[in-house]
Amino acid sequence: MRIACVGAGPAGLYFAIAMKRRDPSHEIVVHERNPAGTTHGWGVVFWDDLLASLTATDPDSARTIADHAVRWSGQVVDVEGQPPLHYEGGGYGICRRRLLEILTERALALGVDVRFESAIDDIAALAEADLVVAADGVASRLRQHRAERFGPQIEAGRNKYIWLATTRPFPSFTFGFVRTRAGWMWCHAYSFKDGMSTFIVECAPETWAGLDLGAMPADAALRELEVLFAKHLDGHRLVSRESRSDTLPWLSFRTLVNRSWHADRLVLIGDAAHTTHFTIGSGTRLAIDDAIALAAAVNRHDSLDHALDQFDTDRRRALAGIQRDARRSAEWFENLPRYIHHGTPAFFTLLLARRSRLLQRMPAKTYLYLRGLYLSLNGRAAPPLAAADAQLSGKHRWRGEPLSRAGLPMHTSPNETRDPLSRAGEG
Ligand SMILES: Cc1cc2nc3c(=O)[nH]c(=O)nc-3n(C[C@H](O)[C@H](O)[C@H](O)COP(=O)(O)OP(=O)(O)OC[C@H]3O[C@@H](n4cnc5c(N)ncnc54)[C@H](O)[C@@H]3O)c2cc1C
């Protein structure tokens, strides 16, 4: 089969790898508009479930990815004016640029034709291909050309964020909340390679405007953020990937859903098909899952139409719940003032329950009360609240079971178990 993939992000590259692994006779070209080695963003997090899928699909690249990932353990929530809390759990971080280099090298070794500086803005340029895979990200040009078939809906989040990095190591996933003169601002920080950590800064638009961050020259804005997050940075600098603009490229996260993911021989995968807010840290993993699922469907069916129908149905179904969780997580951060005055232990419980439909619909205090009641009636301790007791009695670290196994949501894994009360409420 002649296949054209547009976009050498995780989705496009991994689809090419998965297809070549299944059948080396496929002729696959990956078109990437950027030069080799350039990408946006810094490090991304992932969990063992991704490593397991990678290993099952292509053990060679899985091993290299594992070798270049760093492990972070535990989560820290640090609210200004309160003692930080630390919980167990853990995952991996990897440099996005390194991940793409590994996938590119592997695709080339398998015989994929990866063409950089090759922008494809119209499917007409790919008339030779039997299958065209639009893996060109959230702003997909190919999707726009067939918008009437895909029915994309994009919703911009309220909050402003910027994806920065720092040389300060963050061996635990850290949520740091600081109080500024214009409102709360927070970071999501974790190590992704030796001596480098992702440092995403997020805040309400009022805070962003009140601090004048949109108009401030990039260097001045970075220095201002370094002052605000001085405690978390411990003397380390913040760095931005973008050197082109005069101001920092603050964004509002765009949540994308599509009514359909394929139209004739064109199929959407990864961020071109769906996005999930970065506070559940799963976009890369879902992009790779799409790639694996599409390769499996194409190889399972003799008819391309049937394969794309099956891929579309199965993956849209798999994504529905994750996108719903991601939206709730984004909204939780947009409604931070509802939760942050609760004090760290209870606040951490609320943070961990941020995908809960019940929490979204009732006052936080009622949620906390009901959750405690539910857990005590079911004869189970509520780990974050149990940790709150320990914290009040002077023990700052909860040493119980990892939260994922204790039935509580960790930061992120899309497979994570919901908290017990949500499960009771959602049936
Ligand atoms: C702040 C932030 C933090 C995140 N953190 C995490 C995390 O911790 N863990 C995680 O799993 N995910 C994370 N994500 C999500 C993750 O980055 C994306 O979901 C993932 O990159 C999607 O992969 P993709 O291949 O579909 O798209 P992309 O990575 O966007 O790749 C698309 C590629 O297509 C190319 N392209 C675009 N248009 C064209 C064209 N016309 N012609 C040719 N090429 C084109 C682009 O240059 C790009 O290389 C985060 C996202 C954000 C914004």
Domain residue spans in the chain? 2-39+59-66+97-154+257-328, 160-239, 337-426
| pLDDT value at residue 143 | 97
Between 284 and 422, the higher pLDDT residue: 284
Ligand 1 within 6 A of 283 CB? yes
C-alpha 297 to ligand 1 mean position (Å): 23
Ligand 1 within 6 A of 44 CB? yes
Ligand 1 within 6 A of 250 CB? no
Using the predicted structure, report yes or no on whether residue 365 has a pLDDT greater than 70.
yes
Using the predicted structure, report yes or no on whether residue 2 has a pLDDT greater than 90.
yes
| pLDDT value at residue 244 | 62
pLDDT band at 411, cuts 50/70/90? very low
| pLDDT value at residue 298 | 97
Using the predicted structure, report yes or no on whether residue 424 has a pLDDT greater than 50.
no
Using the predicted structure, report yes or no on whether residue 403 has a pLDDT greater than 90.
no
C-alpha 272 to ligand 1 mean position (Å): 9
| pLDDT value at residue 421 | 55
For the domain made up of 160-239, give the CATH fold: D-Amino Acid Oxidase; Chain A, domain 2 (3.30.9)
Q: What number does CATH give the domain 2-39+59-66+97-154+257-328?
A: 3.50.50.60
Ligand 1 within 6 A of 7 CB? yes
pLDDT band at 10, cuts 50/70/90? very high
| pLDDT value at residue 344 | 85
pLDDT tens digits along 298-319: 999 999 999 999 999 999 999 9
Ligand 1 within 6 A of 103 CB? no
Ligand 1 within 6 A of 196 CB? no
| pLDDT value at residue 39 | 87
C-alpha 271 to ligand 1 mean position (Å): 6
| pLDDT value at residue 225 | 98
Q: Give percent above pLDDT 70 in the chain.
A: 88
pLDDT tens digits along 210-264: 999 999 999 999 999 999 999 999 999 999 987 666 899 999 999 999 999 999 9
Neighbours of 417 (CB within 10 A): 16
Atom of ligand 1 nearest to the CA of 142: 41
Neighbours of 28 (CB within 10 A): 25
Between 379 and 253, the higher pLDDT residue: 253
Mean pLDDT, residues 24-43: 95
Q: Pocket of ligand 1, candidates 65, 267, 271, 277: which has the most ligand atoms within 8 Å of its Cβ, to mutate?
A: 271
Ligand 1 within 6 A of 95 CB? no
| pLDDT value at residue 413 | 43
Give Cα 381 to chain centroid, integer Å: 30
